[in-house]
Amino acid sequence: MMKPMRLFLPFCVSAVLLAAGDSLVIEPAQTKVEFTLDSLLHTVHGSFRLKRGTLSFDPQSGKASGELVVDAASGESGSAGRDKKMHAAILESAKYPEITFRPDRVDGKVVPQGKSQVQLHGVFAIHGVEHEILLPVTVDAAAGQYTVAATFEIPYVKWGMKNPSTLILRVSEKVEITIHTVARTM
């Protein structure tokens, strides 16, 4: 009788937290923010570091709040020359040191235990400009911990950043971002 109770208790705690609305802290050390940029010759892969992140949501109304902050200057692609150009001419990371996402609603239901597919709506700020965005998110919940994955595209040229294409090297005008993270209840 004791063993089923131990398994049931975390589920109940998680369900109660979700019913009341969760306040979550995003673990920077357990977060990967990766980017992929297609080009004519090869695909560029790189990463950024999360500085900090919090998220609160009300499962009844779908309202969300919080902020995820990425260190723009932490972007690395494995090529010092390419990274220098990315920071100086495209991201202008000295002038715009942070990339942020502020969620305002969750479309769909995050189940207290198991996998959920939801859409996270909010404001994505990069290069000094804010843009509304809808992110498809997969959430795997277990006892107050949420493993989250999202993949989406940023139309960086349309959003006012320079295209690094040259006469010979042509790159996509969109960059794919993939985020894997762990969020825990506060």
User: What is the structure's pLDDT at 1?
Assistant: 42
Contacts of 114 (CB under 8 A, 6+ apart): 140, 141, 142
User: What is the structure's pLDDT at 22?
Assistant: 67
Q: What is the mean pLDDT of the chain?
A: 88
User: What is the structure's pLDDT at 59?
Assistant: 83
Within the chain, residue ranges assigned H as helices are: 2-20, 80-85
Residue 19 has pLDDT above 50, yes or no: no
Phi, psi at 173, each rounded to 5°: -90, 5
- Residues 44-94 have pLDDT tens digits of 999 999 999 999 988 889 999 999 999 999 999 999 999 999 999 999 999
Domain containing residue 63: 2-185
Residue 141 has pLDDT above 90, yes or no: yes
Domain count of the chain? 1
Q: Residue 83 and residue 79: Cα distance in Å, rounded?
A: 6
- Residues 82-105 have pLDDT tens digits of 999 999 999 999 999 999 999 999
User: What is the structure's pLDDT at 45?
Assistant: 97
Q: Residue 24 and residue 1: Cα distance in Å, rounded?
A: 32
pTM: 0.85
Task: Return the CATH number at 127.
Answer: 2.40.128.110
SS3 per-residue string spanning 125-158:
EECCEEEEEEEEEEEEEECCEEEEEEEEEECCCC
Residue 21 has pLDDT above 80, yes or no: no
